[in-house]
Amino acid sequence: MARVAFIVTTCHEFEGVKVLSSVLKTAGHQTDCFITSEERDFAGAVLRWAPDVIGIYATTGQEDWAREHVLEWKRELPHLKVVMGGPHPSFDSDVLHDAEYVDAITKGEAEYAMLDLVEAWAADRSIADIANVGSLQDGAPLLNPIRPAIQDLDTLPFPDVDLFYKYPFLRSKRVMQVHASRGCQNNCTYCTVPRMKREWVSGAKGETFNRTKSVDYLCDEMTDIRARYPGFRMVNFGDAALNMSRGWLEEFAEKWPARVGLPFACNININYLDEEEIIQLKRSGCASVQFGLESGNEDVRMRVYRKGYTDSMVDEIPRLLRKHRITFRTNNIMGSPAETLEDMFNTVEVNRRIKPQGCTVLIYRPFKSTELGLEDFEAGRVEESRDIGPSLQLDSQMRRDDLREVVNLQKLFNLGVYLPFGPQLIKLLIRMPRNPLYDFTLLGFLWYQHAVVSGYGMLDDFKLGWKNIGQIFGRKKGGTHGVRDAASKALLDTMDVGNEAAV
Ligand code: B12
Ligand code: SF4
């Protein structure tokens, strides 16, 4: 039996960590999770729990935050092993060279890789041949092949929510985070998911990256959670799109209201949605959906971003959502090299036309792990020396003459969409120097829309934003130490901007 401690910096219930923990517990190991913002003495709490293994989840830019803690823990617990998993080590194994810090990494989905690793360490066996695992062998990185992705998600034990709901804030929110699927139908060029589809599978015949839990399994999972945590009033599905598997929503609409009955918010892919499915969403209790419009220009959306959303879908789906009384929010990208300022104003106009209840607006970031980002770096379109922090909402790293206007437009976008003479007004305002009033305008709209339209609750959303402020504004190392450092710079270089990342 081993004691495994997961550590994370964002105050959020991580689906991946929940499932890894339940697999380890099912095999007889002990697990716990420590969130920086929720612990008065984070380092001490981990040390007192005396883990044998530390598990770090890292998106790109989060790979270094735990280093100093780990070195301290290793001094006190000389047998301690550290494994890093999640998107960052899955695409970049450099951290393996920092042997003081990390003993192994995992690539892709890690349920059984982590189990094998923990058991090998507990038995003092070699880890050199464990699939999905990377380690330093005789001073050289060894990256093992991937095992097939788990095809039937119902074979997994229910996600271990206790790990996160031990924290009063997370268990007393209105909204519970749940996942019904893995993968996505689309292959947008600014997102990491297409690369996951290629690299997080073994290539075995018939293997697929897009998978959905059965509706019965999902309802059983909810019953299991609610028996212990009855206070939740709503569900937020973190999936790329709840309408991923054809026919799934039909069964969901039959069973979810009777067996669970909680209203929910979710992401949808509008290129795979028809009226019948919108009716099914409504019958299921869907209060609000979000989708990535990204650009008002069809050519940019279809050809450059490969989003798959035509203009007619962009007009028709909102009409149907309104008809069936489901609120919706759009995600929008400002400042990609594919767009002129005029194109971006077109995105404002398209939002005015389709009338979403909210708009999330991110500044385009050229991340190296995406097709588009890589192209930008290769074409020299990126001002690599400009350190603008890790946030997707602060500034642009692209080389362009109208940078100030682009960044101001992102801040004032919602005024353009919702005020009677909005576009005319913001055309004047974006010429002004950047100022905090514009930032507050953006934050105010975001808070209101997320809290009210998606049903998160004003106070919960405010508290959540406050806890994760270091993650949002990126001025703090790991969100806890108040140091702006190389880690936040690294995040800029390679972080990916999927619309779901902004949820
Ligand atoms: C839901 C979601 C969120 C949620 C929840 C966070 C999360 N990561 O779970 C929220 C809204 C909070 C969020 C925020 C952000 N996100 Co996000 N998010 C997603 C999304 C859509 C689904 C993740 C998920 O739950 N998948 C299902 C579970 C089962 O898979 P998984 O998390 O990958 O877990 C498996 C493996 O990674 C591994 N694993 C996971 N944890 C661990 C831990 C250890 C110790 C080990 C060994 C292995 C391991 O095993 C797990 C089980 O198989 C993904 C896209 C995607 N499809 O993956 C983006 C994604 C992960 N997010 C991304 C980004 C950039 C962010 C932000 C940095 C964005 C921002 N604005 O700042 C923040 C970072 C916050 C954070 N600390 O992670 C990027 C990461 C890209 C990269 N190269 O690093 C992704 C891939 C989207 C994209 N644009 O490409 N996100
Ligand atoms: S951006 Fe969203 S829709 Fe596009 S591939 Fe990524 S997860 Fe799928």
pLDDT tens, position by position, 125-142: 999 999 999 999 999 999
Question: What is the best residue among 179, 193, 290 to mutate for testing ligand 2's pocket, by most ligand atoms within 8 Å of CB?
Answer: 193
CA dist 456 → 264, 298, 451 (Å): 10, 32, 4
Ligand 2 atom nearest to 190, measured from its CA = 1
What are the pLDDT digits (tens) for 466-492?
A: 666 655 555 333 433 333 333 333 232
Give 454's pLDDT tier (boundaries 50, 70, 90).
low
Sheet containing strand 104-106, strands side by side: 30-35, 3-8, 53-57, 81-85, 104-106, 133-137, 140-143
Let me know the angle formed at the C-alpha of 222 by 218 and 225, rounded to the nearest 5 degrees.
Answer: 140
Cα 299 to averaged position of ligand 2 atoms, centre (Å): 17
Q: What is the CATH architecture assignment of 173-494?
A: Alpha-Beta Horseshoe (3.80)
Q: How is residue 478 annotated by DSSP?
A: G
Q: Which residue has the higher pLDDT, 88 or 390?
A: 88
- pTM (2 decimals)? 0.91
Of the candidates 82, 85, 88, the one whose C-alpha atom is nearest the C-alpha of residue 54 is: 82
Determine which of 88-92, 178-182, 285-289 has the lowest per-residue pLDDT on average. 88-92
Q: Tell me if 3-143 shares its fold with 173-494.
A: no
Which ligand is located closest to the Cα atom of residue 479? 1
Give 442's pLDDT tier (boundaries 50, 70, 90).
confident
Residue 501 has pLDDT above 50, yes or no: no
Cα 496 to averaged position of ligand 1 atoms, centre (Å): 10
Q: Whose CA is nearest to atom 4 of ligand 2?
A: 188
Q: Across all residues in the chain, what is the average pLDDT?
A: 90
Q: Whose CA is nearest to atom 3 of ligand 2?
A: 186
Q: Whose CA is nearest to atom 45 of ligand 1?
A: 55
Let me know the angle formed at the C-alpha of 220 by 219 and 222, rounded to the nearest 5 degrees.
Answer: 65
Ligand 2 atom nearest to 194, measured from its CA = 5
Pocket of ligand 1, beta carbon within 6 A: 6, 9-10, 12, 14-17, 19-20, 55-57, 59-60, 62, 83, 85-88, 91, 106, 109-111, 114, 179, 182, 191-193, 238, 240, 369, 392, 471, 495-498, 500-503
Q: What is the CATH architecture assignment of 3-143?
A: 3-Layer(aba) Sandwich (3.40)
Strand spans (E) along 238-357: 264-267, 286-294, 327-334
Residue 392 has pLDDT above 80, yes or no: no
In the chain, where the domains are located: 3-143, 173-494
